[in-house]
Structure 1
Amino acid sequence: MIARQKPELRILGREFIPAHSPCVITFNHYHRPGFQAWWLALGVAAVVKEEMHWVITSELTFPGNWYAFVGRPLSRWVLRKMAHTYTFTGMPPMPPRPQDAGARAVAVRQVLSYIKYTENPMLGLAPEGGDNPDGIVCMPAPGLGRFGLLLAGAGLSIVPVGAYESDGSFCLRFGPKYELKVPAGLSARQKDLQAARIIMQNIANLLPTSLRGDFE
């Protein structure tokens, strides 16, 4: 399927594509009209030879659209079926909603269980969790940095990937892996914020300047 994609897939930083290494591959949620988000995951999966476990949204929210009241429950059903069939972990949508706290905790435990019982676990996720205006990278919702620190504490390094279009190609630029760390003396909120900023800055460094937003 990815071979027939238009624009064609172009891979940069091949030397940083992970293999046999516990890690989480993080990429920006690039989009534009006519370019669907699932191409991001398909592109990464096409070049990473190890089996990956994806963390995906469990619901599409369709903000501002009249059909949201139908689309939301339908998307929950479809994504639940996909998660069961392909062993994804469904995470409640961003930004966090109070009613999703229980489901979010269950999803986090599922991910940590996968890491614990899998040799060389490899996760894939888009930290922003949704489309952004003009495809420009932005800070994720609160809690993402804390989740990243949990993954780091479980022994996973982080591999950043920048997704964008250039010269008629869909580009995935892999960067060097790193260990996610923040100072111990910070408050929980500060740790969450700083960890999220580190994650997004490493992704933004791999993007064209026009897509980096506040991460130049």
Structure 2
Amino acid sequence: MPDLTAASTHSPLPRLVLASTSPRRLALVERLGVQPSRVAAPDIDEAPRPREIPRDYALRMAVEKAHAVPRGEGEVILAGDTTIALGLSVLPPAETEAVQRDLLARLSGRRHHCLSAICVIDTAGTVRTRIVDTIVAFKPLSAAEIDAYVACGEGLGKAGGYAIQGRAEAFVRFLSGSHSGVIGLPLFETRALLKTAGLPLG
């Protein structure tokens, strides 16, 4: 006869909660072969602190987003943050077309850093983080190229004013690091943290 006692005490697999409503992050998580049991929007203040360096800011954002979403029994929380840094400056999201034009002009012909931070809180409440620093270099952009890109609409609301998975990829003359991290979630590091948290990723 089967051992019913052993079966009844078997712990259920953890359930993943994605602390982000970004469709890009959801699509990236699904590439890992896991479907979040739920998606929740973290409500936090995303303003940088005075003299806060970009790396510290990105990690803080990921951790605060993860803690902002209540974790139920058996749930693993995953949160991420993508920060674009030019030198020691954290570049804001392109909330308006005017801001986006300014951001693209600042990135034109220069290297910048895309800091992709992730935070995982496992079922026991253990917090683990990783951060990936990807160097991205844009070609020099003409005013006409900037205008055309702004008009297409894909970079509005995005960190740094661009989406590398779209038309902006044609501006990238050099990239060193994680392409998926620039999109919104570094898959190699995310997979490692989720496996450590007990998610069945093979």
Global fold match (TM > 0.5): no
Determine which structure has more spread, i.e. the larger CA radius of gyration: 2
When normalised by structure 1's length, the TM-score is 0.30
Larger strand percent: 2
| Larger helix percent | 1
Scaled by the length of structure 2, the TM-score of the pair is 0.31
